[in-house]
């Protein structure tokens, strides 16, 4: 009976903890549904400056929470999506974009995946060609050695004049 009480108490505590964790989500009110939709799109497009691989919507960091509130405030002030993105880029740089614009400072971000893909594809091809070339040269060497051996065997010690 005591174990059952402990299990029920543990289940209750886990449930209470999960409710508390869910209560930490941002509760923002919007003046209209269009602003809410724009907000959801923007927080999915903007990257968390701290988390790096999470957008503002998925991140639980304090800075993401602050930035979500900032996006909300700017939307309610009547700013356009482009103005909000420009504001974030001015503060955090092009890193805040998941799809940064192509320009000299972000060129490496755009070219590096292609270079990596080229290396992944070309290295095995080069290695296979080297292996094939080595195998062919081994065969030709073996043929030359075979010919030399046959000449040596065909020459008898008494036939030399």
Residue 115 above 50 pLDDT?
Answer: yes
Average pLDDT over every residue of 24-45: 83
Instruction: Find the domain containing 25 and state its range.
Output: 2-101
- Which range in 108-112, 113-117, 141-145 is most confidently predicted, on average pLDDT? 113-117
Tally Cβ neighbours within 10 Å of residue 74: 18
Domain boundary among 53, 84, 101: 101
- 108 & 97 share domain: no
Residue 141 binned pLDDT confidence (cut-offs 50, 70, 90) = low
- 139 & 66 share domain: no
Average pLDDT over every residue of 33-58: 88
Average pLDDT over every residue of 66-92: 92
Residue 129 above 70 pLDDT?
Answer: yes
Residue 72 above 90 pLDDT?
Answer: yes
What domain count does the chain have? 2
* Residues above pLDDT 90, as percent of the chain: 23
Average pLDDT over every residue of 48-67: 87
Residue 67 above 60 pLDDT?
Answer: yes
- 123 & 151 share domain: yes
Pick the more confident residue, 156 or 2: 2
- 62 CA to centre of own chain: 23
- 97 & 146 share domain: no
Query: CB under 8 Å to 27, separation ≥6 — which residues?
Result: none
- Residue 33 is part of a domain; what is its CATH number? 1.10.8.640
- 107 & 84 share domain: no
Identify the pLDDT of residue 119: 87
pTM of the model: 0.53
- 145 & 112 share domain: yes
Identify the pLDDT of residue 66: 92
Domain boundary among 101, 119, 139: 101
């Amino acid at each position: 009976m005591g174990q059952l009480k402990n299990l029920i108490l543990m289940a209750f505590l886990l449930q209470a903890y999960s409710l508390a964790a869910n209560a930490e989500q941002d509760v923002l009110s919007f003046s209209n549904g269009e602003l809410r939709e724009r907000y959801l799109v923007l927080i999915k497009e903007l990257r968390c400056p701290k988390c790096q691989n999470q957008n503002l919507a998925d991140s639980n960091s304090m800075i993401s929470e602050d930035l979500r509130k900032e996006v909300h405030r700017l939307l309610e002030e009547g700013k356009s999506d482009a103005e909000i993105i420009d504001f974030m880029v001015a503060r955090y740089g092009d890193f805040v974009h998941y799809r940064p614009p192509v320009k000299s400072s972000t060129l490496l971000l755009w070219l590096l995946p292609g270079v990596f893909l080229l290396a992944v594809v070309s290295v095995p091809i080069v290695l296979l060609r080297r292996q094939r070339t080595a195998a062919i040269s081994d065969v030709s060497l073996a043929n030359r050695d075979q010919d030399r051996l046959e000449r040596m065997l065909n020459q008898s010690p008494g036939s030399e004049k």
